[in-house]
């Protein structure tokens, strides 16, 4: 499997009159412009997050476009763009130039993912790309704050390999300090029992007991209170040692009721639990509807598209799904205002950026 080895965030952050070109809705970063040369998932997820906060993101693509545009079917009706591309490219403009950038790598996640005694299994989503994008977003925000304090910009190196390895947390720590290789546990947890998905009468339910008190509460609710006093299962270390027998007993009980019945029984439980939902279940959930996470945005080719909006809500606002992902080169010849020369903070070039220019006293500020 080929993965990106390195993701240098080739983004140029501008502070000045160019910010007038950002969207109309207020944003926490509406006075920042981002020249986005990233592609596929990690970088675009980072810059989309900046765009959600109001930054003016200009997506620079090759003449063929971001590869993710072709990752289908399914494709947008009347367009060559995939819905995969739509997921990480809202709140941006697109211009086209010639760009080439080969990359490749790997870092331990697949070896830890999959059924017990089974083959390695790829996670259902591009989790390393997303976490790298979030690390990149955090790094950009930290660099902006540092620039505000010192007037100095800096280069940021945020790559997939380092992010994946750092995400291995306890597995990496145990190997480095104890020399113990990780195993694949399916939905189960290597160090906690029970902590996994169980078959119900009509589906699957995830149950996790992170302490002995939670295990005792769980046993009481399933009508097996004696398990918490059984010498084989009294302590978590005992349950890990006797994992197979513990899981066998619990599985026999859980499969006697439906997921909905168990959810009702566990509604006041001290331990985390929940059904394994399909997408239809997720978006039919009353809480998901109440928080209005799904946004519908106008699209030039198909009328409207539905997207999952930003998950974070700020008390002062400013984090919005403003515009649908752009079509290829949609803004190469845009009729928007012509940008004036600005002071820039450069994240990729080797040379140090200039200090910010003093504000023009004769010109009103464009920042909020």
Q: Residue 265 sits in a domain of what CATH number?
A: 3.30.1540.10
CB 194 within 8 A of CB 239: yes
Highest mean pLDDT among 84-98, 100-114, 228-242, 318-332: 228-242
Provide the residue range defining the domain that includes 315.
Answer: 11-163+294-346
Q: With H, G, I as helix, E, B as strand and everything else as coil, classify residue 271.
A: coil
Same-domain check for residues 92 and 237: no
Alpha-carbon gap, residue 368 to 366, rounded angstroms: 7
Q: Which single residue is written with the structure tokens 């996994």?
A: 196
Identify the weakest region by mean pLDDT among 186-195, 299-308, 356-365. Answer: 356-365
pLDDT in tens, 96-138: 887 554 444 767 777 788 888 888 887 888 888 889 999 999 9
Query: What is the chain's mean pLDDT, rounded?
Result: 81
195 phi-psi bin (left φ>0, alpha ψ -120 to 50, beta other): beta
* Domain annotation covers residue 341: yes
Same-domain check for residues 245 and 328: no
Same-domain check for residues 304 and 158: yes
Same-domain check for residues 45 and 158: yes
Same-domain check for residues 19 and 147: yes
Q: What is the mean pLDDT of residues 240-261?
A: 96
Q: For residue 353, is pLDDT > 50?
A: no
Q: For residue 9, is pLDDT > 90?
A: no
pLDDT in tens, 263-282: 999 999 999 999 999 999 99
Q: Residue 72 sits in a domain of what CATH number?
A: 3.40.50.10540
| Cα dihedral 286→289→290→292 (10° resolution) | 160
Residues 6+ apart with CB under 8 A from 230: none
* Domain annotation covers residue 142: yes
Same-domain check for residues 210 and 84: no
Q: What is the mean pLDDT of residues 288-299?
A: 94
- Which residue in 81, 129, 202, 350 is the catalytic one? 129
pLDDT in tens, 54-77: 889 999 988 888 888 888 888 888
| Total structural domains within the chain | 2
* Domain annotation covers residue 43: yes
Look up residue 318 and give its DSSP letter.
-
CB 4 within 8 A of CB 104: yes
* Domain annotation covers residue 366: no
Against a cut of 0.85, is the pTM above it?
no
Same-domain check for residues 20 and 81: yes
Do the strands 273-275 and 294-299 form a parallel or antiparallel pair, or are they unpaired?
Answer: unpaired
Q: For residue 311, is pLDDT > 80?
A: yes
Tell me what pLDDT residue 306 has.
94
Tokens of residue 186, six digits: 């399916």
Tell me what pLDDT residue 100 has.
53
Alpha-carbon gap, residue 32 to 368, rounded angstroms: 11
Given 221, 246, 275, the domain boundary residue is 275
Tell me what pLDDT residue 2 has.
23
Same-domain check for residues 151 and 30: yes
Is 129 among the residues known to form the active site?
A: yes
Same-domain check for residues 16 and 151: yes
* Domain annotation covers residue 112: yes
Same-domain check for residues 123 and 48: yes
Same-domain check for residues 159 and 234: no
* Domain annotation covers residue 34: yes
* Domain annotation covers residue 184: no
Alpha-carbon gap, residue 207 to 136, rounded angstroms: 33
Alpha-carbon gap, residue 170 to 183, rounded angstroms: 12
* Domain annotation covers residue 78: yes
Same-domain check for residues 96 and 33: yes
């Amino acid at each position: 499997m080929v993965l990106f080895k390195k993701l240098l965030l080739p983004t140029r952050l501008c502070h000045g009159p160019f910010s007038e070109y950002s969207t109309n809705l207020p944003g926490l970063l509406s006075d920042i412009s981002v020249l986005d040369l990233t592609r596929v998932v990690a970088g675009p997820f980072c810059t989309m997050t900046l765009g959600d906060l109001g930054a003016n993101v200009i997506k620079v693509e090759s003449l063929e476009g971001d590869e993710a545009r072709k990752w289908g079917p399914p494709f947008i009706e009347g367009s060559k763009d995939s819905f995969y591309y739509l997921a990480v490219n809202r709140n941006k403009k697109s211009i086209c130039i010639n760009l080439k950038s080969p990359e490749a790598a790997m870092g331990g996640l697949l070896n830890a993912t999959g059924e017990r005694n089974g083959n390695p299994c790829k996670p259902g989503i591009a989790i390393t790309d997303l976490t790298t994008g979030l690390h990149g977003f955090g790094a950009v925000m930290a660099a902006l704050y540092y620039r505000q304090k010192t007037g100095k910009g800096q280069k940021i190196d945020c790559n997939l390999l380092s992010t994946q390895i750092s995400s291995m947390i306890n597995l990496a720590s145990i190997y480095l300090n104890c020399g113990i290789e990780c195993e694949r546990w399916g939905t189960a947890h290597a160090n906690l029992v029970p902590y996994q998905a169980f078959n119900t009468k009509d589906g699957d339910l995830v149950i996790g007991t992170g302490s002995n008190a939670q295990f005792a509460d769980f046993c009481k609710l399933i009508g097996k209170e004696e398990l918490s006093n059984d010498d084989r299962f009294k302590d978590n270390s005992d349950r890990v040692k006797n994992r197979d027998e513990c899981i066998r007993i619990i599985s026999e009980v859980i499969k006697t009721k439906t997921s909905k019945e168990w959810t009702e029984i566990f509604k006041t439980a001290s331990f985390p639990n929940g059904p394994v939902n399909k997408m239809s279940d997720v978006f039919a959930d009353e809480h998901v509807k109440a928080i209005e996470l799904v946004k519908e945005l106008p699209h030039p080719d198909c009328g409207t598209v539905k997207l999952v909006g930003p998950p974070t809500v700020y008390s002062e606002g400013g984090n919005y799904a403003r515009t649908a992902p752009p079509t290829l080169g949609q803004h190469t010849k845009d009729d928007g205002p012509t940008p004036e020369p600005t002071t820039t903070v450069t994240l990729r070039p080797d040379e140090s950026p200039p200090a910010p220019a003093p504000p023009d006293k004769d010109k009103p500020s464009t920042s909020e």
